[in-house]
């Protein structure tokens, strides 16, 4: 692979350096090399053309540094161990990878304003990555003990017994310590959650200094500052690394079957008792899920979100299928015309 890259020109012999994308800097990947040097990079045309491969936070990349060029060029992206994927909010049927190569996802919500529906969705996306998942309830000082206990219980029953739920507060260093213990040295943790939930504050507390500007991101507040600070992977002293993931306002499902299964273990275990193996739990005879709802054993709200997320996942799968078929038709169409030497010119083809 490296030989191919060199023969493509631009880079001098042996000029490829391996680094890691630690931040997206105004759309350009910022790559950090093992010696600590950071370099703003662009993508080699070969990567972007055709397959539209673009490096994301956490990617390990091979970079060439052409002489008399102020940016590096990403020539190759190493296969990812893990990806955080959502549906591209601007496209009908495209995935968008937000981060790569991490071991844990922390889902953050403020303890005083937990949105369980959003949490379900965040958990589906987090579980779908295959990483370890933790829920961190922030701003613990803003809720009293009884309220915190009630919220914790609700969140724990939602997240399932395998998922740890922690409450943190700026006022309580021990609570931050508990998060630090999760970040094993040599691992990377991705922090997700709405803007304003206290993610940068948490990172700053973990690192011990102000590495991220707190309250700098204002989304949809009409006027006011619209400084979008893009977040960087930072090392937590004595622990692993953490990155506060930018730009996760919309969390559309992409591949979600496994994530839904993991996020709804209660429904999944009931489903094993359904009469039909392919039961959709929508009124089929012998459906154990519907029976549990009727008996009050499975909350209807929980059942409703499960069904809504399944529908969304099925819908995105259908659209992908349609897009694939459309592309196939298009390819067949242009092949047909190329053979005949007529039809639309290549320049006129659009995606
Ligand atoms: P982010 O957008 O998720 O990174 O959120 P920030 O870290 O910027 O925090 C948003 C606001 O919540 C800021 O005004 C913080 O000072 C405040 N905040 C964060 N953590 C805590 C906390 O533990 N307690 C209280 N009372 N406020 C907090
Ligand atoms: Zn069923």
Residue of 198, 212, 226, 245 to mutate, ligand 1, most atoms within 8 A of C-beta? 198
- 283 CA distance to ligand 2 middle (Å): 7
DSSP 143-187: S-HHHHHHHHHHHHHHH-TTSEEEE-BTTBHHHHHHHHHHS-TT-
pLDDT-based confidence at residue 343 (cuts at 50, 70, 90): very low
Q: Are residues 318 and 270 in the same domain?
A: yes
- 179 CA distance to ligand 2 middle (Å): 38
Answer whether residue 274 shows pLDDT above 80.
Answer: yes
Mean pLDDT of 266-290: 94
Mean pLDDT of 261-281: 92
pLDDT-based confidence at residue 265 (cuts at 50, 70, 90): confident
Nearest Cα residue to 127 out of 105, 102, 101: 105
CATH of the domain at 312: 1.10.40.50
Mean pLDDT of 30-55: 91
Q: Are residues 159 and 189 in the same domain?
A: yes
**Whole-number Å distance between alpha carbons of 54 and 42:** 9
**Whole-number Å distance between alpha carbons of 115 and 206:** 25
- Predicted TM-score (pTM) of this structure: 0.80
CB 31 within 8 A of CB 38: yes
Q: Is 64 annotated as a binding residue?
A: no
The last residue of one of the domains, among 45, 79, 113, is: 79
Mean pLDDT taken over the chain: 83
The two three-digit tokens of residue 41, written as one number = 């990079």
Going by CA atoms, what residue is nearest to atom 21 of ligand 1?
Answer: 139
Parallel, antiparallel, or unpaired: how do β-strands 132-138 and 28-32 relate? unpaired
- Give the model's pLDDT for residue 213: 64
Number of domains in the chain: 3
CB 202 within 8 A of CB 191: yes
Answer whether residue 138 shows pLDDT above 90.
Answer: yes
CATH of the domain at 120: 3.40.50.300
Q: Are residues 6 and 129 in the same domain?
A: no
- Which range of residues forms the domain containing residue 53? 2-79
Whole-angstrom Cα Rg for the chain: 23
Residues in CB range of 245: below 8 A, 6 or more apart:
57, 84, 98, 99, 190, 191, 192, 231
Taking the mean position of all CA atoms in its chain, how far away is CA 71? 27
Q: Are residues 39 and 88 in the same domain?
A: no
Range among 72-81, 122-131, 307-316 rated most confident: 72-81
pLDDT-based confidence at residue 291 (cuts at 50, 70, 90): very high
């Amino acid at each position: 692979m490296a030989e191919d890259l060199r023969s493509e020109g631009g880079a001098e012999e042996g000029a490829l350096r391996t680094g890691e994308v630690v931040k997206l800097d105004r759309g350009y990947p910022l790559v950090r090399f093992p010696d600590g040097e950071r370099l703003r990079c662009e993508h080699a045309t070969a990567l972007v053309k055709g397959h539209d491969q673009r490096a994301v936070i956490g990617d390990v990349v091979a970079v060439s540094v052409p002489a008399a060029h102020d940016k590096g060029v990403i020539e190759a992206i190493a296969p990812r161990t893990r990806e955080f994927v959502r549906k591209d909010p601007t496209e009908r049927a495209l995935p968008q990878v937000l981060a790569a190569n991490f071991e844990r996802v922390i889902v953050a919500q403020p303890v005083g304003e937990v949105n369980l529906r959003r949490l379900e969705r965040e958990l589906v996306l987090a579980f779908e990555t295959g990483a370890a998942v933790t829920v961190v309830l922030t701003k613990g000082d803003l809720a009293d003990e009884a309220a915190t206990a009630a919220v914790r219980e609700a969140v724990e029953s939602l997240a399932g017994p395998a998922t740890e739920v922690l409450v943190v507060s700026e006022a309580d260093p021990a609570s931050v310590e508990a998060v630090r213990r999760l970040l094993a040295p040599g691992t990377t943790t991705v922090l997700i959650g709405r803007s304003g939930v206290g993610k940068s504050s948490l990172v700053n507390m973990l690192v011990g200094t102000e590495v991220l500007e707190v309250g700098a991101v204002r989304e949809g507040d009409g006027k006011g500052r619209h400084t979008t600070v893009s977040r960087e992977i930072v090392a937590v002293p004595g622990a692993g690394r953490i990155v506060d993931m930018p730009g996760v306002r919309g969390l559309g499902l992409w591949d979600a079957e496994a994530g839904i299964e993991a996020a709804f273990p209660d429904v999944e275990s009931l489903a094993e008792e359904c009469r039909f193996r392919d039961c959709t739990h929508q009124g089929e005879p012998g459906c154990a899920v519907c029976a549990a709802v009727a008996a009050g054993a499975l909350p209807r709200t929980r059942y409703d979100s499960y069904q809504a997320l399944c529908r969304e996942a099925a819908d995105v799968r259908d659209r992908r299928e349609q897009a694939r078929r459309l592309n196939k038709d298009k390819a067949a169409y242009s092949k047909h015309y190329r053979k005949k030497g007529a039809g639309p010119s290549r320049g006129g083809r659009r995606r």
